Amino acid sequence: MTSSRPPLVQLSNVRIDRGGRTILRDVSLQVPRGSITAVLGPSGSGKSTLLAALTGELRAVSGSVQLFGQDIPHGNRALLEMRKNVGVLLQGNGLLTDLSVADNVALPLRAHTRLPEAVLHRLVQMKLHAVGLLAAADAWPRELSGGMARRVALARALALDPPLMIYDEPLTGLDPIASGVIMSLIQRLNDSLGLTSIIVSHHVHETLPISDQAVVIANGGIVFSGTPDALQASQDPLVRQFLHGEPDGPIPFDAPTRNYGLENA
């Protein structure tokens, strides 16, 4: 994973506000090419907020966010171009229920390319094969198990061959077996396709084994950054509270939110 080229993602002293409140401050992070980075932290700590800053959906109030060695562009067109290079698996799968599995995977290709239908069909088959679901091409999303639906969403995120993949809670709602399948798939795709991956999760024990580096977000910023081994060995009370799921400690249980119950809907 080492490389003399600049990191694929670089955040320096970033502050991100949402709803008039500072959610993250002084965030600095480097994601080396080819690596898998775990972004861990309790619910509501700002993990999805951080991802939204990487896709340009949210703008940093201060500091710099660079992808592929460049600042996130401001113009709509340039932003769209940049986003083609970022595959996103959102929290929830976001499959369209009235489209077949194959048509769901084809969506980004139809939106961003003008490939002939035969080529498009072949590409969709390749993506479905990559996630082990070629046989489900003609199925409807409602016919899929949770784990299969997640893999279809993964195939769709890969459709445009983005060099950077971002996964927001890829294990939500999956049983341990399906979780293992998704995690090994993420690792295999990262290695075989030469991707760089960022995985946001609170599933520490499933995410760390495939990660090269880990950051923990809590109390409005990064409270740990280092290797998975260093994280496991950390004696920081905040990190330990999160890792071991203890209710009492430096992370307050009733994190300050306004409009409680509506914001994450």
Q: Is 116 in the site for ligand ATP (CB under 6 A)?
A: no
Tokens at 124, concatenated: 């969709």
Q: Return the residue of 6, 44, 63, 163 that touches ligand ATP, per CB under 6 A.
A: 44
- Which CB sits closer to Mg ion, 106 or 217? 217
Residue type, 26: D
By CB under 6 A, tell whether 48 contacts ligand ATP.
yes
Q: Which two tokens stand for residue 205?
A: 């024990």
CB 203 within 8 A of CB 183: no
Number of residues that bind ligand ATP (CB under 6 A): 16
The residue type found at 175 is D
Binding part of the chain for Mg ion, among 11-19, 42-50, 53-61, 232-240 by CB under 5 A, reads: 42-50
**Per CB under 5 A, 179 contacts Mg ion:** no
Which of 10, 37, 45, 48 touches Mg ion by CB under 5 A? 48
41 binds ligand ATP (CB under 6 A): yes
Stretch that binds ligand ATP, among 15-23, 131-139, 141-149, 173-181 (CB under 6 A): 15-23
Is 49 near ligand ATP (CB under 6 A)? yes
Alpha-carbon distances, residue 232 vs 8, 209, 218 (angstroms): 26, 11, 16
- Planar angle of CA 51, 49, 60, nearest 5 degrees: 85
Q: Tell me the two tokens of residue 118.
A: 């035969």
Identify the bridge partners of residue 172 per DSSP, sorted by sequence position. none
Rounded to an integer, what distance in angstroms lies between the CA atom of residue 55 and that of residue 198? 12
* Nearest distance in Å: CB 201, Mg ion: 9
The token pair at 37 is 């980075």
Applying CB under 6 A, among 9, 11, 14, 23 the residue interacting with ligand ATP is: 23
Interacting residues toward Mg ion by CB under 5 A: 48
